[in-house]
Amino acid sequence: MSDEPSATAPSSLSLTLSPQEVRLLRALRQAPPGTAVPEGQAAAGAGMGADAARMGLERLRSKRLTVLEETSREHWALTPLGKSLATRGLPERRLLNVLAEKGPLSAGEVPGAVPEGAIAAEEVTVAIGPLRRQKRIEMGEKLSVASDTDAAAPLELEGDLRTMSDGGQVTDEKALKELQRRGLAAKEVERSRAWRPSPEGMALPLEGAEGDSIGAITPALLIHGGWTRATFRPYDVRAQVPHVEGARRHLYKEWLRQVEEVLVGLGFEEYRSPLVELEFYNNDLLFMPQEHPARSTHDMFFVENVQGHGLPPKLLRDVASVHEGRALPRQPAPLSRGWQTPYSEEVARRIVLRSQTTAATMRYLVSRPKPPFRMYSLDSVFRYDQLDATHLIQFDQCEGAVGKSGLTFRHLLGLLTQFAKALGIQEVKFQPTYFPFTEPSVQGMVRHPKLGWVEMMPGGMFRPEVLRPLGIKVPVAAWGLGIGRLAMVALGLSDIRDLYLDDRSRLSAARV
C-alpha cells in the first residue's frame, strides 16, 4: 500500500454522493451555466429544508463539486424600538394628539390624562424637545398646541419611520442620522449565499448515482433486511472526522500509583497521617530546635483558631528533655547537649500544614511498629514558597522508613540505590548533607539526561534523640523524596504546575 493519495477520477467520485447531494447538484445544474443559484432556491429545487440543503452543499463543496458565492450589502433597518414606535406612533405624535384633544396640560399631568400606557412620563420628556424645535407646541405654565399650527400635520421622522416599516428605503442622510441617534434605526449587513457547480460538478455523471446506495446503516435496514437489496456507498476515508475526547486517569496520579507498586513490591507498607499537623509531630519529635528558622512563618503555614491538644504526656516530657539536653528517666547521662534553649509546650501544640512527610513517619513510630518494618507514605506537604514553574506550595513527598536490628548507613545507601533503580534511574551518588533529625545525613543525587546531577533523595539514620523518646530500640533509616520533581523528569514536564493540570483537552490528549 502507498501512503500517496490516489488520483480520483470524477466518475468514481459520484459513488461518494448521497442521494440528497445528487439532488442538490442536479438543481444547481439546471440554472444557466455560470449562474449561481441562491441557497434557498437550491433547497427548494432539491426538495429539502434550508439546514439540510446548506449542509449538503457544504459537503459538495468539500468534494470540490460546488462553488459558493457570498455577497454582502449594507442597508438601514429599523431596530426593535423603531419597529414598535412605527406601530404606536412617535412619542411627540402621541403627546401632540393628547394636547390637541385635552387642551393645555403640565408635563406631569399628561400620562394621567390618557388611558394607562398610552404615553409614559419619560416619553413626555423625550417628546417635548422635538415638538418645541418644530414649533408645534408652546410652553407656558402648561404645554399647549402652538396656536398657528394644525396638530394633524406630519411631524419630522414620521414619514421616514413609516417608509422603513413598509420595507422602503430612506435616502435622507439627516433623517437617518436622527433615527440612529434615537435608537430607532441601525445599519445592517445582509449576506446572501448562492451556489454554482464547479467544472467537476458540471462534468460529473449523475445517472444512477441515487439508486439504493446506503450511507449510515440504520436499525431499520437491519430489522427489515433492506440492506440485502442495497449497495453500500463507500466513504471518503481520508475525510476529516469528529475529534473524540475520552476520560483518562490523571497522568501524575497514574505515575504515583506505579511508584507505589514499586514500594509495595519492595516490601513497604503504606501509612498516612493528617495533612494538618501538630508542630510536635511535624518538628519537635524530629529534634528540630523550636527556634529553627524552618519553623518560622516564612517557611510553614499556620492554621487560624485551632488549638492542638492530647499530646502523650510521657512522650512530651521526654522530647522536652532531649531538646533541653537533659537525661531521660533511668538514663545516667543526656543523649546530647540538646539545643540548650527552653522547650515550649505551647509551640508543640501549634497547628500547621504538614511541611514534611517525616511527620507521618513520626506518627508511625509513635504507634510502636514491631521490627523489622518498612513503611512508606506518599502524600502532600506544604511549604511557604513562591509559585513558579519549579515551585509549588503544595507538593508530594515519598517518605520511606526501614527499622531493623543491625541496620546501618550502608543499608540506607543500598535502599536508596535500589529504589532509584526500581524507578528506572541507573546512576546515583551520595553527598553529605544536614537534617537535625538524622546522623549521618545523606543527599542522593541522580543523573538526569538533560539536567545533569540532580539532588532528589535526601535521607539519613534517625538520631538517638529522635528514637529514644519513641522507645524504638532498632536503628531506623529514613528518606523523603521530592517525588514531584522525579515525576517531571519521568513525564517529560517542564512546569511543575502541570502535575495539577485540570485542562480537559490537554489531559485527554496526554501521552499514555
Partner 1 sequence: MARSSLSTARLFAILGKELSETELREVLFRTKVEIESVQNGQVEVEGNADRLDLLDEGGLALELQGSLGSASGLPGGPPGAALPGVEARVNASVSPLRPELEMAVVVAPEGSTGLDTGTIEELVRYQELLHATLGRVRKAASLGLYPLERLEPPFHYAMEPLGQVRFTPLGGSAEVGADTFYSEHAMAKEFGALGRKDDLALTLRDSARAVLSLPPVLNAAGAGEVRPGDRRVLIESTGTRAARTREMVGYMLLPFAARGWSVHPVPVHRPDTSVDGVEVVSPRRLPVQATLINRLLGSRLTSAEIEHALLSARLGVERASGSLHALVPPWRADLLAPVDLAEEVAIARGFASFAPILPPAMSMGRRRPDRRFEVQLGDVLLGLGYQELNTQVLVSPASAERFSEPGEALHLSNPITTELSCARPVLRTSLLDALERNTRSSYPQRFFEIGPVIVRDPDADTGTRTETHLALVDAGELAGFALAAGVSERLFEVLGFSAPREPAEARGCVPGRVAKLRIAGELVGLVGEVHPSVLSELKVQVPVSWVEVDLSRLERLRGLLPNKAG
Q: Does 34 bind partner 1 (CB under 8 A)?
A: no
List own/partner pairs for 499-505 with CB under 8 A and 24 or more apart. 499/252, 499/392, 499/395, 499/396, 500/252, 500/392, 501/250, 501/251, 501/252, 504/245, 505/245
CB-based burial of residue 239 (10 Å sphere; 0-12 exposed, 13-18 middle, 19+ buried)?
exposed
Q: How many CB atoms lie within 10 A of CB 440?
A: 15
Q: Is 24:201 a contact under the CB 8 Å cutoff? A: no
Per CB under 8 A, does 473 bind partner 1?
no
* Preceding omega of 372 cis (within 30 degrees of 0): yes
| For partner 1, the closer CB: 195 or 268 | 268
Binder of partner 1 out of 106, 302, 327, 495 (CB under 8 A): 302
**Residue of 49, 129, 372, 471 interacting with partner 1 (CB under 8 A):** 372
CA dist 463 to 76, 163, 271, 299, Å?
87, 97, 21, 23
The correct pick among 137, 335, 483, 486 for binding partner 1 (CB under 8 A) is 335
When the beta carbons of 48 and 416 are compared against partner 1, the nearer one is 416
Smallest gap, in angstroms, from Cβ of residue 393 to partner 1? Answer: 6
What is the CB-side half-sphere exposure of residue 307 using CA atoms within 13 A? Answer: 4
Interacting positions 388-407 with partner 1 (CB under 8 A): 392-394, 402, 404, 406-407
Question: How many positions of this chain bind partner 1 (CB under 8 A)?
Answer: 98
The least CB distance from residue 51 to partner 1, in Å, is 20
Using CB under 8 A, which of 48, 351, 423, 425 touches partner 1? 351
Check binding of 382 to partner 1 (CB under 8 A). Answer: yes
Q: Which amino acid is at 112?
A: G
User: What residues numbered 110-169 form the site for partner 1, per CB under 8 A?
Assistant: none
Interacting residue with partner 1 among 26, 326, 411, 448 (CB under 8 A): 411
One of 133, 224, 429, 473 touching partner 1 (CB under 8 A): 429
Subset of 434-453 contacting partner 1 (CB under 8 A): 434, 436, 439-442
Given the DSSP bridges, would you call strands 373-382 and 269-270 parallel, antiparallel or unpaired? parallel
Binding to partner 1, residues 210-269 (CB under 8 A): 246-250, 252-253, 257, 260, 263-269
> Can residue 410 be called a binding residue for partner 1 (CB under 8 A)?
yes
CB atoms within 10 A of CB 104: 14
Contact between 393 and 387 under an 8 Å Cβ cutoff? The reply is yes
415 binds partner 1 (CB under 8 A): yes
Running DSSP on this structure, what letter comes out for residue 281? I
Residue from 50, 217, 306, 451 touching partner 1 (CB under 8 A): that is 306
